[in-house]
Structure 1
């Protein structure tokens, strides 16, 4: 059995979006609130990583700050790995509007098969998704070393860890559809991404009502 600590990354400057991605409204709720509820169902404890804790007090979650400021999501992962009682951490970025718990099931099964792994990372259409992934406590030393050396690129950090990749085929084999997979890893970086996500939410609701 693998127990998970959830680590929500509240994000940084959101320069491309122009406003805080975590607080964008999706279906009448702040996206970070939706993620708290969804990630909370698949983890035993949940932490929020943010350098602006006052903006997230409403979540009533334990909030930790980056030790090394302005170092991107890697610093958030470092902060998350330092907290919690579970060896495995589920890291989730704040800009995922279509979080799917089935993804977590597949990642956990992969971790069970590879007990020496330090990270379990999805690869969708050739692209790594390190901000919806599992990290083992043992990855902390490497993450810290990279930050200390000024290395912030997730691809470089992952190349120094024992990583098990999860492919699209593995998600399909687990019963997900290609549409579900692509939605699960869709992130909102720009205003048009947000608008698209809103339209998809409405479409999905319409489909449910028709059924």
Structure 2
């Protein structure tokens, strides 16, 4: 029986009188695509129109909506809101991402409050901008996380597959990097096992017959459709083989990658972008070989191949990506030479 239906099949508010207070938190998000007609009104991270500062007003309206949720949704309880925070970001294409986080210590959760806040903030932006152009799209309002109560929730990509890129020729290393042992097994197998903790299926990406008669021969493998495209060929092969999936893609020469590296990508998953990827703190470039790709990536990589752009970094630079910073720069460092390999071995032992 649904919780808002009583034994007589009548609508009712859920009885929470016997529950105890606990810490509750929820994060919701919604997206807005603004038309280019609003570009002249963008000043830094704010839109300034005759009605006033759009983003600041949206935050105020969203906060009011969070506190008024029980007045808008019939069976929501009145909840003492202890924290309400908004992050509203506008990118160069005038895509606006609204994130609303709500916290309380109470008997029931605050996901409806977070969703209501994000929604009203979006509607406020629409209201303030419609005089310039009503060609505004509000989409993908969703709950990202919920903690507290009987169950927690975190939105994750589904289905999620993993790929270990092993198809390189390892010229500088002078031996196959995938077979190097930083621990007690080939490092490609180590990363394969790491990804298996999160992914429904995991594959090696390799050239035809590359791992015959090696310790990697028994692992599921996707043979590159094009042997001469480097990492782009491996990524594109995976995207074409399972275009419906999100892909966690890792290079086999990431000696310092760990569970935290993977979990940070998943925590920052956004289904509306091409990829969530690390941004190299040294030069600011995206790291395509330690990234979480959405199905949208397929068309981007196909276009790149057609345009003879074979560098995955350039593909991501031309794409709508969500960038994150690694906890330690070495987590996304590629190990390419014998000296680097011996240094890592020394550190691990």
8 Å CA contact 1:5, 1:43 repeated in 2: yes
Q: Which has the higher strand share?
A: 2
Q: Structure 2 stretches of 5 or more lacking a match?
A: 1-155
- What corresponds to 1:100 in structure 2? 258
8 Å CA contact 1:42–1:101 kept in 2: the answer is: no
Query: Contact between 2:245 and 2:295, CA under 8 Å: does it hold in 1?
Result: yes
CA 1:43 to 1:189, structure 2 compared with 1: closer, same or farther past 3 Å?
A: same
Distance 2:221 2:339 in 1: 30
Give the deviation of 1:147 after TM superposition: 1.3
Where in structure 2 are the equivalents of 1:52-67 lying within 5 Å? 52-55=208-211, 58-59=215-216, 60-67=218-225
Give the Cα separation in 1 of the matches to 2:220 and 2:184: 24
Q: Which has the higher contact order (CA 8 A, sep 6+)?
A: 1
- Runs of 4+, deviation exceeding 4 Å: none
Structure 1 residue 58: Cα displacement: 4.2
The answer to whether 1:191 aligns with 2:338 is: yes
Partners of 1:142 and 1:85 lie apart in 2 by 12
TM-score (normalizing by structure 1):
0.81
User: What's the CA shift for 1:149?
Assistant: 2.3
CA distance in 1, matches of 2:277, 2:311: 15
Please show how residues 60-209 of structure 1 align to structure 2 within 5 Å.
Answer: 60-84=218-242, 87-111=245-269, 114-125=270-281, 126-168=284-326, 171=327, 181-202=328-349
TM-score normalised according to structure 2 size: 0.51
Once the 2 structures are TM-superposed, how far is the Cα of residue 46 of structure 1 from its aligned partner?
A: 0.4
State the Cα RMSD in Å. 1.9
Larger radius of gyration: 2
- Deviation, structure 1 residue 76: 0.7
Q: Structure 1 145/35 Cα, relative in aligned 2: closer, same or farther at 3 Å?
A: same
**Where do 5+ consecutive residues of structure 1 fail to align?**
172-180, 203-211
> Which of the pair is proportionally richer in helix?
1
Give the Cα–Cα distance (whole angstroms) in 2 for the partners of residues 104 and 191 of structure 1: 26
